[in-house]
Each structure stands twice: as C-alpha cells, then as structure tokens.
Amino acid sequence: MNTTMNRTTCKTRLAAALVCAAAGTLATLAGSAHAAGEAKNVIFFLGDGMGPVTVTAARIYKGEKQLAAKPGSLVSPERANLVMQTLPYAARVKTYSLDGQTTDSAPSMAAYMTGVKMRNEVISMSSDTVAVDSTGKQYINGEDTTCAPTNGKAADTLLELAKAKGRAVGAVSTTRVGHATPATTYAHICNRNGYNTIAEQSVPGHANYNPKLLDGVDVLLGGGQRNYLPKPANPGSKRTDGVDLVAAMQAKGYAYVDTGTKLKAIDPAATGKLLGLFSQSEMAYELDRVKQNLDQPSLSDMTEKALGVLSKNDKGFFLMVEGGRIDHALHGTNAKRALEDTLAFDAAIQTALDFMNKKDPGLKNTLVVVTADHDHAIAFNGYPKIGNPILGLVNGYADGKPTKAADGKPYTTLVFGNGGRPGSISFSDANDPNATPADIAKKIADSNVNAEDGKKPWIAPARGPVRDDQTTMDTTDDNFLQEVGINLGSPGAETHGGGDVMLFAGGAGSKIFKGTMENIKVFNKVKEAAGL
C-alpha cells in the first residue's frame, strides 16, 4: 500500500468535506437570515443624483470632518466609510429611461417603485404614457395639469402594494412632497410638473384622490406648502382653486406640523396619521438649515418621527426617505452643499438603523435599501495626494504642489462636465421672443447671487476661453461653484449624468441585491423580499 498516496487522498477528501460543510452552513445561514418574503418592513433610501463620484467625495469629506474633530482617528480621510457603505450587499443599477440615455428623476424613481420603464417627466404610469397635457403640449411647466384620460394607465407602486397588505406607509423628503421622487410613491400623472394635482392625489376625499391609497399615506413629510395651502392665508400659494388641502387632511384625522419644533412635539404613540410641510417649496439645504438656525427638521429628525409612527403597525410598513437636495446642489455645481446634504442623508440612514435595531434586533424583519435615481456630470479629476482636501485645488501626490493645467493655472479636484455660471443665462432664455430686455437683465442679475443664502454672490471661476486663476480663491467657501467644461447658462443649469449608480442593502431579503441590474428589477427584488 502506498501510505503517502493514502494520506494525500484522505487529506484531499477531508478538505473537500470541510469546504462542502462550510459552504452548506453559510448557505443555510444566509438563506434563513435573508429569505425572500420575510421583510415586513421596508425602508427605501433614495439619494437624488447621488452618483458614484458624489458618494466617494462625501466619504472623503466625512473623513476630513472626523479628523478635524478627532485628530489621529483615521490614517487619512480616504479611509472613512459612509454608513451606507457598511451595509453588507451592493449592486450597480442602470438608470436610462424609456426615451433618454440620461434619465429624469421621475421615470428613474418610478422604475424603482413600479417596475415599469417610462418616459422622462412621467410619474408612475404605463410605458405608453407621454408627458403632454390634454392639448398635446410637451413638458408642462405649471402647478396644475390636465392629462388626457386616455394618456396611459396608473402603474401600481410599492407603497400602494404595501398599503393593500395592511401595512403602514410613508414618504419623507427634503424637497416638496410632490416633487418627482416622493410623488412616484403615491401619485400617478403624465407630467411631474403638475404639483397641485399631485398634492390632490394625496388628500383622502378629494375628487382627484388616489383610491389605491385606501385611507391615505400615513406619514408625509417635506416641503410644499404652496401646493396645499391657498391664498390669502398663504401669500406664496400656487393653488388656483382656493382649496385648503391641509384642512381637508386634518378633517380626515391627520396631525399637521409646519416647523421642526412642532415635529419634535409630536408623540408617535398618539399619532395615527402625520402631515408635515416645513417650507413653501423645497426645504433648506442642510448647510443653510444649520448655519441660519432655521426651524426646519433635519432629514434624520423626519426619518425618526416617521418610523415612530409607522412601526406601530404589527403588519409592517413601507417608508421612502429621500435626500432630495443633493441633486439641486449638483445642478448648481455647488459641491459643498451637495456633500453636506449627502452626509445628512447618510446620517438619516444611521438614525433608521439605530431605531430599527431596537425594534427589530438584527433587522430580521426589516429590509434597508439605499440607492440613487441617477448620476450627475460631476468628475473627480487629477492626481491629488492622499489627504488632499476634497474641495481644494489639486496638489500632486509626487511633490505636494499645485498641479497646473496647460494654461499654467491650478484646478480643483471636483469639476463638472457642464453647468451654469453667474452673469449668464441659457441660450433659450437669451433668445426668447417674448422676453424684454428688462426680463433678460433681471435673469442675469439674479444669476449672480444665491437666493437661499441671503443673496450672497456666487464665487465661481470664469468659464470661457480664459480661465480665472483660482490660486487665491477660497474653493471651500459655501458659495463656491466648481469649474465646468460647457457653459449652459445660469447656476442650476448642470445636467444629470447617464452613468450607472450604486445600490447598498442590508437586513431581511438583502442578499438578492447583487451584480448589475436594470432599475426596474429593483422593484421586483423589493417586492420579492417584502412579500408584496
């Protein structure tokens, strides 16, 4: 007998057996901990416009803040982690819409909520829906809309499916509650700009109420007073019928709050339905909310209160939480506000995890999904050294000195492929046949200042044939606008990007999120995990 051969064979068989046993054990654990259909609670986090570059930059920005508060706590800011990045499962998501390589927020979020590909501007409707009103006018720009009754059909949303199962449902956002992302959870309309009509769909008893909501969305928090409260009580109202939708919802049992102080006073145990509208339009950027000491709740505050109300339902709940103003800051090429809002969004994720781990230890019955609806035209460029300030000029890794462009001038790490600039207006505005010289002059003047920060002037390098020297510019100023490659007009003109976005998941059912998937497949996976 060949003793050596027998020993080798035995070792090989033993190793194989151990590997098989280990694999089987892991599979059993994963299956039992994350079986499909067990997530009676779903928290769907959506960072609007939060593409890979924004996530990366926010991670480094968080690391810088951590090191400033506690020197030596990290080897370098690059080694920090966002809360979303600690979730165990990850995937990539394709974001194109039915008619655009680069999507609008409405169909991209609607794809997550309904599993249906639709055209840009369309909210939670069938694929044959077109973004026109009853007269055939494209891309309505107004607060009311008249979609033809034959223009598509409503597509069921995850929120509606959860409601049909007897679960509590809610939507939270730092934008208007009728903005594209939150609206896709509870409304159906051919064009996202019909804000008054979208608001009416959330009001039980209204002629335009969405009956699939049964007794109503249980928690709705964000901005948007102008679409719910009429004149003269609300001078900034956009309502055209004088109807007080807040009063109508209060008559249906909703508690209503309009400040952060009032929201804190809400007792979830004694609250069945909650409506919170904290601003006329969008809520403030996190940076401005804090610095201006505004009486608006943070996204974490709203998330915690929403969970307090919804988690009382023994059958479970569905909650959508949007960091909506990340997108707006990126449209403005204002990286600092975008990163601050991304960190506030990430903090809300931590708040939710902390809250639910007390209610549901180990998230055995709770699925948490974090993703974005689309990317932006932001880029992370150059070869900056480790520890280089993410909002600063590029200092090279080889010599630590400012890296110069071909014109001999430095540039920042974060730049944009396109965007607006102060003192400029778009080609269409400049050539509007109905615009007077005074109209154009006003638009140019308005483009020079930040209306949300006391009309302080924007700080932005010239974006033309000759670049400004940024050596002496404070690129970390709140109102600094990153350099852009293509000038599209005034600040706010930057476009979405068409790249794939990241998805992070944890808790019950989360193991099914992996690889690269179509955005409509995210709907299927959440539906499967939650047993909807």
Q: What angle do CA 124, 196, 221 make, to 5 degrees?
A: 75
User: Exactly one of 73, 76, 105, 300 is catalytic; which is it?
Assistant: 105
Pairing between strand 456-457 and 449-450? Answer: antiparallel
The C-alpha torsion from 413 through 419 and 424 to 427, rounded to 10°, is 150
How far does Cα 125 stand from its chain's mean position?
20
Number of helices (H), then strands (E), belonging to the chain: the values are 15, 17
3-state secondary structure of 507: strand
Q: What is the rounded CA–CA span in Å between residue 69 and residue 81?
A: 16
CB distance 394 to 411 below 8 Å: yes
What stretch of H or E contains 366? Answer: strand 366-371
- Three-class DSSP category at 379: strand
Give which of 84, 172, 81 is closest to 510, Cα–Cα: 84
Tokens of 465: 């044939």
CA quadruple 395, 397, 403, 405: dihedral positive or negative? negative
**Alpha helices for 316-467 (secondary structure H):** 325-331, 335-359, 427-430, 437-446
Contact (CB, 8 A) for 340 and 484: no
**DSSP alpha helices (H): ranges in 34-147?**
52-69, 105-114
Rounded-to-integer distance, Cα 74 and Cα 66, Å: 8
Active site residue 105: yes
* Cβ density class 203-217: b for 16+ within 10 Å, e for less: bbebeeebebbeebb
3-state secondary structure of 473: coil
Beta bridge partners of 477: none
Token pair of 297 as six digits = 């709740």
Could you tell me which residues come within 8 angstroms of residue 5 by beta carbon, excluding any fewer than 6 positions away? none
- Active-site residues, by number, are 105
